[in-house]
Amino acid sequence: MIEAFFEDFEKDKKRMINMANTLECLTEKRIEMIKAIMNQEPHSIRELSRMLERNVKNVFEDLSLLQRNQIVRLEGEGRKRKPVVIVRRIVFTFEGGNNQ
């Protein structure tokens, strides 16, 4: 019985760490990027960087982080990869603390 408790605890701990990482990666610029991908459907990273008026290298780094957090994926190979949003909704629920 105590082993099951610790297994559940470890699963919850990993889930909380993943949620914290996801929340941390959602900066204002990255949210703007996600919206641009969803609304304008760029065909390449370079096209997305032009839309956002940002450096291609910085856009690629942000996309890589969003991909590691399973929010976007880059389709295709080589230099012309298309960014695609794979998560349409993220919901965080915070519990605990004082409600004073």
**Which of 14-18, 24-28, 88-92, 95-99 is predicted most confidently?**
24-28
Q: Where are the alpha helices (DSSP H) in the chain?
A: 2-25, 28-40, 45-52, 56-68
Mean pLDDT of the chain: 84
Res. 100: pLDDT tops 60? no
Res. 41: pLDDT tops 70? yes
Q: What's the average model confidence in pLDDT over 59-69?
A: 95
| Between 8 and 3, the higher pLDDT residue | 3
Q: Which domains does the chain have, with CATH numbers?
A: 2-85 (1.10.10.10)
Confidence (pLDDT) at 1: 65
**Dihedrals φ, ψ of 23, to 5°?**
-60, -40
